Amino acid sequence: MSSVAVIDYGMGNLHSIAKALQHAAPQVDVRIVSDADAILRADRVVFPGVGAIRDCMQALNRSGLSSVIKSVAETRPLLGICLGMQALLTDSEENGNTQCLNVFPGHVVHFPESLKDKAGNSLKIPHMGWNRVHFTPHPLWQGIVQDSRFYFVHSYYARPDDASVIAATAEYPDPFACALARDNVFAVQFHPEKSQMAGLQLLRNFLQWNGQV
Amino acid sequence: MSLAKRIIPCLDVDNGRVVKGVKFVDIRDAGDPVEIARRYDREGADEITFLDITATHHDRDTIVHVVEQVASEVFIPLTVGGGIRTLDDIRRMLNAGADKVGINSAAVFNPEFVREAAERFGSQCIVVAIDAKKVSQAGEDNRWEIFTHGGRKATGIDAVEWAKKMVAYGAGEILLTSMDRDGTREGFDLLLTRAISEAVPVPVIASGGVGNLDHLADGVIEGKADAVLAASIFHFAEYSIQQAKEHMAARGIEVRLT
């Protein structure tokens, strides 16, 4: 039986993601874990997160999980979700330039103030709701229709230095990177655990993924 | 632009059963919340909101079980409101599988609670529910005030100012209910909805008064709402969520069609 570890570092609610993983693949052993050994024993690792990046990085650094995540990023399939994706960049503008894990060189920036759509209506921040995701080929999109909608809630987004790691974009109103991929690491800004069929399919794909592109 | 406007069915849950009253009387039993949530999910609801109207504290565990059951099989955002007064109440709901909580009266009695909740759990899961009623007279500029106790008690607080204050305190979203329209089936208070939506940077959910599908579209087009919430038109299968979305799409609104 394959296993997946959902990293618990005290940031937010992991029940949704654990329930969705279990539903997507009932035969997989899903564990919510916080100690390094348990994380490194799992076949695959999910790195979720909600809230503010400074608290997130403090929790990761204090617990020593920063280095564990970096080591997972070199060895086995890793899925970063929402703040877990943002934490994989080099740094974030949030909370006055917070240093992150630098798995994907690049920055996390805030949506510009006073965004307007083409009709001139102001766009709300956070970017919240179901938006279309336009992806480039990758095993994790298997069985998902191009431009499917996924559920987002965030005010910051990733801007990687190397555009070739962008695995998908969404528009608000300009295109931004909403999924990143390199080797065995995949990261999404949206919440697959809250994105109904398309989200469950992505999780199912991750749970079958061998980390090869 | 491709962010969809959301349709959110709301389930008023009393001691484990979905009920819906007209102006808070004539409560009709509309069925089992888990069953109904499943149906809404199948029909393409963008989120589901549970409003716990159970009167006694003792019976509040019921809603926790409902949320747990729904969250283990329905994978869209779930919000729970009603009786959220402490950080511990929030933690229980999130642990049961809710993604957001709606804070209503507790915010009015103690605004700091919203700040504490947002700091502890993140703004993304803090929805401040505002019950507003028009207080201006004919001929005056429109003015709405916050009411508590199901619309019975005036607070003297201006609704637009209150919405701005709640966002400053950390609300990630505003659920706005017109107490003048709730249960009337006459449509949203569009002027109220627009006044609040244009005053705050966060998404606003319009609520109170939906009687037909045009009302939903009006809430977005004229009220500038980011999401629309309705209860009774969906419970009794007058309209499906799918029909509502098709209708909104026909009026030029971007929706998620599954």
Give, in order, the Cα–Cα distances in Å from B221 to each of B2, B132, B194.
Answer: 16, 20, 10
Mean pLDDT value across residues A160-165: 98
Split at pLDDT 50, 70, 90, the class of A50 is confident
The reply to whether A82 belongs to the active site is yes
Among the partner-chain residues B71, B172, B203, the one whose CB lies closest to the CB of A19 is B71
Split at pLDDT 50, 70, 90, the class of B1 is low
Q: How far is B1 from chain A (nearest CA, A)?
A: 5
Question: Given CB atoms, is A58 within the 8 Å cutoff of chain B?
Answer: no
Do residue B77 and residue A170 have CB atoms under 8 angstroms apart?
Answer: no
Among the partner-chain residues A23, A117, A128, the one whose CB lies closest to the CB of B73 is A23
Rounded-to-integer distance, Cα A197 and Cα A80, Å = 19
Q: Which of A58, A133, A196, A204 to mutate to test the interface with B (most CBs of B within 10 A)?
A: A196
Expressed as residue numbers, the domain containing A100 is 3-208
Among the partner-chain residues A117, A130, A196, the one whose CB lies closest to the CB of B1 is A117
* Any domain includes A52: yes
B interface with A, Cβ–Cβ below 8 Å: 1-6, 41, 46, 71-73, 75-77, 94-97, 99, 121-125, 172-173, 198, 201-204, 224, 226-227, 256, 258
Give residue B103's pLDDT: 96
Cis peptide bond prior to A77, omega within 30° of 0? no
Give residue B24's pLDDT: 47
Encode burial over B186-198: b for 16+ CB neighbours within 10 A, e otherwise: ebbbbebbbbbbe
Question: Given CB atoms, is A115 within the 8 Å cutoff of chain B?
Answer: no
* Any domain includes A213: no
Rounded-to-integer distance, Cα A43 and Cα B144, Å = 56
Fold classified for B6-250: TIM Barrel (3.20.20)
- Average pLDDT, whole number, for chain A? 95
Which token pair is B84?
């959220």
Mean pLDDT value across residues B41-70: 89
Domain ranges of chain B: 6-250
Mean pLDDT value across residues B200-227: 97
Contacts B256 to A, Cβ<8 Å: 130, 149
Give residue B159's pLDDT: 98
Do residue B201 and residue A124 have CB atoms under 8 angstroms apart?
Answer: yes
Is residue B21 over pLDDT 60?
A: no
Which token pair is A124?
């709300």
Contacts B93 to A, Cβ<8 Å: none
Split at pLDDT 50, 70, 90, the class of A16 is confident
* Any domain includes A157: yes
Mean pLDDT value across residues B156-173: 97
- H-type alpha helices, B122-240: 159-168, 190-199, 213-221, 232-235
The residue that leads in pLDDT, A55 or A101, is A101
Three-class secondary structure of residue A105 per DSSP: strand
Give residue B23's pLDDT: 46
* Any domain includes A75: yes
**ipTM score here?**
0.93
- Percentage with pLDDT > 90 across chain A: 87
Give residue A12's pLDDT: 67
Mean pLDDT value across residues B128-156: 92
Number of structural domains chain A divides into? 1
Question: Given CB atoms, is A173 within the 8 Å cutoff of chain B?
Answer: yes
Give residue A115's pLDDT: 87
Is residue B217 over pLDDT 90?
A: yes
Q: Which of A19, A53, A110, A130 to mutate to test the interface with B (most CBs of B within 10 A)?
A: A130
* Any domain includes A182: yes
Do residue B75 and residue A195 have CB atoms under 8 angstroms apart?
Answer: yes
A76-85, A99-108, A121-130, range with the lowest pLDDT: A121-130
Question: Given CB atoms, is A172 within the 8 Å cutoff of chain B?
Answer: yes
Q: What is the pLDDT of residues B23-50, one digit of tens each?
A: 444 566 778 999 999 999 999 999 999 9
Give residue A185's pLDDT: 98
Domain harbouring A162, CATH code? 3.40.50.880
